[in-house]
Chain A
Amino acid sequence: MNISVLSAAMWSIVALLAVSGGAVFSVRTRVPQILVYPLCAAIGAAIGAVALWSLLTGRVENLVLPLGVPWIGSHFRLDALAALFLSIVGFGGCAASVYAIGYGRHEPSPGRVLPFYPAFLAGMSLVILSGDAFTFLVSWEFMSLMSWALVMAHHKEPGNTLAGYVYLVMASFGTLALLLAFGLLAGPQGHYDFESIRSVVGAHPLAGLVLILALIGTGSKAGLVPLHVWLPLAHPAAPSHVSALMSGIMTKVAIYGFIRIAFDLLGPPEWWWSVPLLSAGAITAVMGLLYAILQNDLKRLLAYSTVENIGVIFLGLGLALAFKANGLAEAAALAMTAALLHAVNHAAFKSLLFFGAGSVLSATGERNLDALGGLIHRMPWTAALFLVGAAAISALPPLNGFVSEWLMFQAVLVSPELPQWGLKFLVPAVGAMLALAAALAAACFVRAYGIGFLGRPRSTAAADAREVDGFQTGAMTVLALACVMIGVLPGFVIDALAPTIRLVVGADGLPLQATQAWLSLIPLSASRSSYNGLMVFLFIAFAAVASAAVVRTLASRAVRRAPAWDCGFPDSRPITQYSPSSFAQPLRRVFGTMLFRARETVEMPAPGDPAPARFSLSVSDLIWDGLYAPLAWAIGKAADRLNRLQFLTIRQYLSLVFGALVLLLTMLTVWR
C-alpha cells in the first residue's frame, strides 16, 4: 500500500485549520473549550507520528497544489530535514495540547485563545512543509500573526500590549530580511520554488549577503542577540502552553528556516560564513543567561534561557558550516548532530519548564519569584518534574542536555583541524563562552528552583497552592521521561538524525550508535572520546542506593523534626530568606557591573537618625538603551518631520511631484 506521508501531513494541517475555523464560529458556546485541545493533541500526535515515520524510512515526497501565485503554484516537500522538525512540531504540539486540556480551564478568556491555537500549530507545520519561497513566506507570516494573536490574548494585563507591539515590529523586520534573502536567491529568472533554487549550479554571486539576511530573518524569530528584545516580552505574555510552544517549538521552526536556506538552498559554503554564526551564537549564549540570572519573573527567566539555547544551537550550526566549507565531513556531521540534538532536547525541556511555570501560575496566580517559595511541599509532582527539567537544561549528566553539550564540546575540540587563522582564534573563544554558558545555566536554574520551589513560602498565594490536575502533570511527566530517556540512550536519537545529517551536510552522519558496545556514544573513534549515559545513570543509581542501604543498616534511623538551626537564631519570617535579587547579587557583581551597568547604592542614615536605611539597585539593558531606544527615537523624530507633508498646499504638492519626476529621470539617464 502506498500511502503518501506528505498528504497525510497536509490533511492533518487542514484538520487543524478546520478546528480553528470551527472554534471561531462556536466561540460563544462551550463546545470549543471541550473539543479544541483534545483534537489538537490527536492531530499533533498524528503529524508527529507521520513525520517520524517519514524520517525513519527516509522518504522524500513532493506535492504541488494549484494555490498561491498562479504561474508558480504552491509547492510542498517532505524530506529528512523537514521530517525531523515536523516531528518536533507534532509531538511538541501534542504535549502542549494535552497540558492545555488541564491548563485551559484556568483561562479567563478562552475565546481569545482557542481559535488561534490550532491555526498557530498549522502555521508552524506549513512553514516546515513549504517547498517554495512564496509558500514559505506566507506560512511564516501566518505563524507570526497567529502567535501574535495568542500573545495578545491577555491584552489588558500591563505590559502585554507593548510586548505585542514589539513582537509585531520585530517579526515584520525579520520577514523583510527573509523576503530580500529569497529575492536574491530567486535571481533575475525568478526561481521561487526550492527545487530550482537548489538546482542552480555553483556559488551564488551574493551568497554571503543572502546568508546574513537569512541570519537576521530567522535569528530575529529565534532570538539571537541583539534581535532578541521581543522574545522575553512576548513569550511570557502568552498563556503558558503557548509560551511553551513559542519557546520550545517556534524557535525550532526558525532554526529550520536557517538550516534550509544556509545548508540546503545556498550551495557550497565559504568558511567565513561561520564567523557571524559563531560570534552571534556565543554572545547570545552568554548574554541570554546573564539576562536570565537577573530576572525575577519565572516565565521571563525561561524566555531568556531560550535565547541562550538558541545561541548554543547557532554556535553548533556555525561549526558545522565551517567544517563543511573545509570538506571535513565527519566533523561537520558531529557539529550538526550536536546542534540538531540540542534543538530536540531544548524542545523537550523548555516545554517542560514552561509547563511547570504555567502550573505554578495557575496554582498561585504568581510568576514572580519574590512571591513564591516552598512549592515542593504543596505541589510535589510539579516540583519533582520541574527539577528534572532544570537539571536537564543545566546540562547535568545523565540527562539529555548534557549529551548535546558534550557533543558540542567534542565538535569544538576537533576544530584545530580548520585551516583558517580567523577560525583558529575564534573557535577557542567560542568554546570558552560555551563552557561559561554551561556553568551559568546551572547557576540560573539553581536560583530559579531554589527560590521558587524550595525554602518557605513568601506569600499566602504560595502557601495555599494546590497541586495541578492530571493532564498538566501527565504532559510534564511524558516530557521529563523524554529528557531522561534521551539522556540515557542518546544513540537511538542520534541514529534517527542520520538521514537529516546526510541531507544537510552532504556526508554520512556519525557512525551508527545503536550498535556500539554497551550502547555508548562514540562520535568519532573510541580512543578519542566516548560517553555512556546508561552506565553513568546506572553507576549513580547504584552508588546512591548502595550508600543509602549501607547507611540504613549501619546507622541510626532516628529522625527528629526541629526548628531550623540557622546558627542558633532562626527567624520565622519568610522575608529573612534569600530573595531572588539577593541570590543573584554575587553573579551580578561579577558579570553585571560592566555588561548591565549594575549599580548598588546604600543610603545609611546618620548615627542616631531613626530614618530607615535604603538600598537601591539600578540595572540597565545596554542593548535596548544603546540600539533600540536611539532607533525608536530617530524613527519617531523622522515621522514627526515627515508629518508636515500632510499639510502642504496644492502648489507645494505639485512641485514635489515634479521634483520626484526630475529626480527619477536623471537617475534613469545616469543609469543608462
Chain B
Amino acid sequence: MAIIGDYLIQGFQMLLVLALAPLLTGVVRKVKARLLRRRGAPVLQPYWDLLRLIRKEAVIAENASWLFRAAPYLIFAATWVAAALVPTFASGLLFSWSADLIAIVALLGSARFFQTLAGMDVGTSFGGIGSSREVMIASLAEPALLMVAFTLSLLAHSTQLSTITEVLDYSEVGLRVSLAMVLIALILVALAENARIPVDNPTTHLELTMIHEAMVLEYSARHLAMIEFGSALKLLLYLSLIGAVFLPIGMAHTGDGAAAYGVGLAAYLAKLAAGALLLAVFETAIAKMRVFRVPEFLGSALMLGFLATLLLFVSRGL
C-alpha cells in the first residue's frame, strides 16, 4: 500500500506544479497591476492565454527546422521534470533520488540550451541578440547557482534536495552567515534566470534591451504556449526551491500521515503567495538595468556563493 501512496504523491506533485504554475504568473501580474493602480487581468488569465494559444494556427518561419518545432516540447519537458523534483509540500518523494540539486541545475541548463538554439534557428537578428545575451547571463548565473548548491550540500552533507530540506528543517543548522549569503545569491540568480526586472522585462516587446522575449519572437500558437508554460514552471521552481530550502516550515516528510500532507500543501500555497507578492513589490520598486550592468549583478551573486562555500570549507560552523 505504501508504495502506491508514494506513487500517488509523486504523481500529485507533478500535476500540482503544472496546475499552479500559470496561477502563480497570474498572481504576480495581478499584484503588479494593483501596485501600479491598474485593475489588471484576472489571476486566471494565464490559463486562458495558454488555451487561446493552443487553439490557434501555428505560423512558422519558412526556413525553420525540426529543431525549432521540437524545442518547445523539450524545454517544457526538462523544466517540468526539474520542477517536479524540487520538494514542494513534502520531502522524500518517490523519485527524488533520481536527480539531486546539481542535476536539477543541469536540467534547467538543458532547457536553456534548446531555448537559445531555437532562438537562432530562424536566422533573424532578434533571435541572435536574445540568445547571445541569454548565454552571457547563463554563464554567470549557472555557476552562481552551482555555488549555492555547493554551500547547501556542504551544510547538509548531501546534494539530495530532500535531505537538504530535512536537515535545514530540523534546525540543527540554525542561522548561518553562509546561509544568508546564498539566500541573496539565490534570489539574484532567480531574478536573472526568470527574466525578471532588473535583468530583463517579462512584459516588454519591441525593445532592444529584451532578452527572453527576443529569443521566442518567432514562436506562435501551441509552440509559444509550451514555452510560456515552461517559463511559468521555472518561476514556480525557483520559488519552491527558495521556500523548500530557506523556509521548510510545515513540509511533510516520508511516513507522515494525511494531515501532515494537508498542512504541507497549505504551507506551500502560502509560501508561493508570499513569494509572488514579494516578487511583484520588488519588480515594481526597481528599474531595469542596462544589459552590460547585468554581469556585475550576477558577478556579485557568484561571489556571494563562492564566499559562502569558502566559509564552509574553512569552518563548518559558519
* Minimum Cβ distance to chain B for residue A314 (Å): 19
Which residue of chain B is the closest to A517 with respect to CB atoms? B97
Contact partner, A416, options B67, B73, B158, B313, Cβ 8 Å: B313
Contact of B107 with A544 in the complex, beta carbons under 8 Å: no
Known contacts A395-B106, A529-B159, A556-B55; decide if A439 and B313 are in contact (CB<8 Å): no
Tell me how far the C-beta of A390 lies from the nearest C-beta in chain B, rounded to whole angstroms. 8
Give 6 closest A-B pairs by Cβ, nearest first.
A578-B128, A455-B123, A450-B120, A535-B98, A586-B136, A543-B77
Given A409-B102, A587-B136, do A454 and B60 touch, yes or no (CB 8 Å)?
A: no
Interface size on B, residues (CB 8 A): 87
A402 in contact with B217 (CB, 8 Å)? no
A530-B97, A590-B295 known, 13 other contacts, Cβ within 8 Å: A376-B67, A376-B121, A409-B159, A442-B109, A456-B63, A542-B77, A543-B77, A551-B225, A556-B221, A558-B58, A567-B126, A578-B132, A583-B132
Q: Mark B51-80, 1 if CB is under 8 A from A, else 0.
A: 000111111111101110000011011101
* Residues 558-599 of A contacting B (Cβ, < 8 Å): 558-567, 570-571, 574, 576-578, 582-587, 589-590
Residues of A within 8 A of B63 (CB): 374, 377, 456, 564
Rounded to whole angstroms, the CA-CA distance of A394 and B110 in the bound complex is 9
| A-chain residues with CB within 8 Å of residue B57 when the two chains form the complex | 556, 558-560
User: CA A560 – CA B61 in complex, angstroms?
Assistant: 8
A-B contact pairs, 5 of them (CB 8 A): A443-B135, A454-B65, A535-B99, A560-B59, A567-B217
Contact of B124 among A446, A556, A570 (CB under 8 A): A570
Interface string of A522-558 (1 = CB under 8 A from B): 0000111111100110011111100110010011101
**Residues on A with beta carbons closer than 8 Å to the beta carbon of B126:** 566-567
Whether A565 contacts B217 by the Cβ 8 Å rule is yes
**Are B123 and A373 within 8 A (Cβ)?**
yes
Partner among B58, B103, B109, B124 whose Cβ is within 8 Å of the Cβ of A577: B124
Binds B, one of A99-107, A118-126, A360-368, A429-437: A429-437
Are B124 and A436 interface neighbours, CB within 8 A? no
A520 within 8 A of B: yes
Q: Determine if A583 and B128 form an interchain contact, defined as CB atoms under 8 angstroms apart.
A: yes
Nearest-CB residue, chain A, relative to B53: A555
Known: A528-B157, A548-B73. A446 touches B117 (CB 8 A): yes
Closest to B97 in A: A530
Docked pose: A578 CA to B84 CA in angstroms: 36
Query: Cβ of B122 < 8 Å from any Cβ of A?
Result: yes
Known: A413-B159, A564-B61. A547 touches B73 (CB 8 A): yes
Residue B239 at the A interface, CB < 8 A?
Answer: no
**B-facing residues in A372-406 (Cβ within 8 Å):** 373-374, 376-377, 380, 387, 391, 394-397, 402, 405-406
Q: Once the chains are docked, how many angstroms separate the CA of A442 from the CA of B81?
A: 20
Whether A438 lies near B61 (C-beta < 8 A) is: no
A447 contacts chain B at the CB level, 8 A cutoff:
yes
Residues in B with CB closer than 8 Å to A409 are 102, 146, 150, 159
| Given A446-B113, A577-B128, A406 and B103 contact (CB-CB distance below 8 Å) | yes
With both chains docked as a complex, state the minimum distance between the C-beta of B145 and any C-beta of chain A, in angstroms. Answer: 8
Q: A425 at interface (Cβ–Cβ under 8 A)?
A: yes
Contacts A432-B306, A527-B158, A530-B97 given; does A561 touch B117 at CB 8 Å: no
Residues of B within 8 A of A438 (CB): 109, 142-143, 146
Q: Is A427 an interface residue (CB 8 A)?
A: yes
Within 8 A of A (CB), among B285-307: 291-292, 295, 302, 305-306
Question: Which residues on the A side are within 8 Å of B109 (C-beta)?
Answer: 394-396, 438-439, 442
Structural contact, B159 and A439, CB atoms closer than 8 A: no
Q: Which interface residue of B81, B163, B312, B314 has the most chain A CB atoms within 10 A?
A: B81
CB distance A565 to B135 under 8 Å?
no
Contact in complex: B77, A531 (CB < 8 Å) = no
Tell me whether B123 and A374 are in contact (CB under 8 A). Answer: yes
In the bound complex, what is the Cα–Cα distance between A402 and B106 (angstroms)? 8
Q: Measured between alpha carbons, how far is A380 from B66 in the docked complex, in Å? A: 10
Q: Verify if B43 is at the interface (C-beta below 8 Å from A).
A: no
Closest chain B CB from A283 CB (angstroms): 16
User: What is the minimal beta-carbon distance from B242 to any residue of chain A, in angstroms?
Assistant: 20
Which residues in B have their C-beta under 8 angstroms from that of A436? Answer: 139, 143, 302
Chain A residues lying within 8 Å of B88, measured Cβ to Cβ, are none
Within 8 Å of chain B (Cβ to Cβ): is A336?
no
Residues of B within 8 A of A584 (CB): 132
Q: Is A410 an interface residue (CB 8 A)?
A: yes
Is A530 within 8 A of B310, CB to CB?
no
B177 to chain A, nearest CB (A): 15
In the bound complex, what is the Cα–Cα distance between A583 and B117 (angstroms)? 12
> Count the A residues whose beta carbon is within 8 Å of the partner chain — how many?
89
Residue A449 at the chain B interface, CB threshold 8 Å: yes
Q: Does A278 contact B (CB under 8 A)?
A: no
B13 → A minimal CB distance (Å): 13
CB distance from A671 to the nearest CB of B (A): 49
* Inter-chain contact A544/B158, CB cutoff 8 Å: no
A272 to nearest B CB, angstroms?
Answer: 17
* Interchain CB contact (< 8 A) of A563 among B61, B84, B110, B310: B61
Check if A435 sits within 8 Å of B146, measured CB to CB. Answer: yes
B120 touching A578, Cβ below 8 Å: yes
Q: Tell me whether A446 and B131 are in contact in the complex, defined as CB-CB below 8 angstroms, given that A439-B109, A561-B62, A563-B62 are known contacts.
A: yes
Q: Which residues on the A side are within 8 Å of B141 (C-beta)?
A: 439
Which one of A380, A528, A547 has the highest number of Cβ atoms from chain B below 10 Å of its Cβ? A547
Q: Check A547 against B143 for contact (C-beta < 8 Å).
A: no
A428 at the interface (CB under 8 A from B): yes
User: Within 8 Å of chain B (Cβ to Cβ): is A329?
Assistant: no
Instruction: Tell yes or no: B28 within 8 A of A by CB.
Output: no
| Residue numbers in A under 8 Å from B103 (CB-CB) | 397, 402, 406, 531, 536
In the complex, how many angstroms separate the beta carbon of B306 from the nearest chain A beta carbon?
A: 5
**Are the C-beta atoms of A564 and B54 separated by less than 8 Å?**
no
Q: Is the CB of B95 within 8 A of A376?
A: no
CA A91 to CA B139, docked complex, whole Å: 34
Pair A428/B135 contact, Cβ less than 8 Å: no
| A312 on interface, CB distance cutoff 8 Å | no
- Interface residue A412 (Cβ < 8 Å from any Cβ of B): yes
Partner of A587, one of B100, B135, B291: B135
* Interchain CB contact under 8 A, B142 and A428: no
- B280, CB-defined interface residue at 8 Å: no
A396-B106 CB under 8 A given contacts A435-B147, A530-B160, A562-B61: yes
> A439-B109, A455-B120, A564-B61 in contact; A547/B77 too (CB < 8 A)?
yes
Q: Are A565 and B61 in contact (CB under 8 A)?
A: yes
B254 within 8 A of A: no
Min distance, Cβ B131 to any Cβ of chain A, angstroms: 6
Cα–Cα distance between A396 and B102 once the two chains are bound (Å): 11
For chain B residues 83-128, which have a beta carbon within 8 Å of chain A?
84, 95, 97-100, 102-103, 106-107, 109-110, 112-113, 116-117, 119-128
* Residues of chain B with a CB closer than 8 A to A570's CB: 124
List B contacts of A574 (CB < 8 A): 123
With contacts A376-B67, A428-B306, A586-B132 known, is A564 near B123, CB below 8 A?
A: yes
B112 closest partner in A (C-beta): A442
Q: Is B240 an interface residue (CB 8 A)?
A: no
Contact residues in B for A590 (Cβ distance below 8 Å): 136, 139-140, 295
- The answer, yes or no, to whether B32 is at the interface (CB within 8 Å) is no
* Contact string against A for B residues 261-304, beta-carbon threshold 8 Å, 1 for contact and 0 otherwise: 00000000000000000000000000000011001000000100
Residues of B within 8 A of A586 (CB): 132-133, 135-136, 291-292
> How far in angstroms is the closest Cβ of chain A from B64?
8
A413 contacts B221, C-beta separation under 8 Å: no
Distance of A554 Cα from B217 Cα, bound (Å): 24
Indicate if A440 sits at the interface (CB-CB under 8 A).
yes
Chain A residues contacting B314 (CB-CB under 8 Å) are 424-425
Complex CA–CA separation, A558 to B223 (angstroms): 12
Known: A528-B157, A536-B107, A559-B57. A435 touches B124 (CB 8 A): no
Distance in Å from the Cβ of B268 to the closest Cβ of chain A?
A: 21
Q: CB distance B113 to A428 under 8 Å? A: no
- What residues on A are CB-neighbors of B179 within 8 Å? none
User: Max chain A CB contacts within 10 Å: which of B63, B66, B140, B295?
Assistant: B63
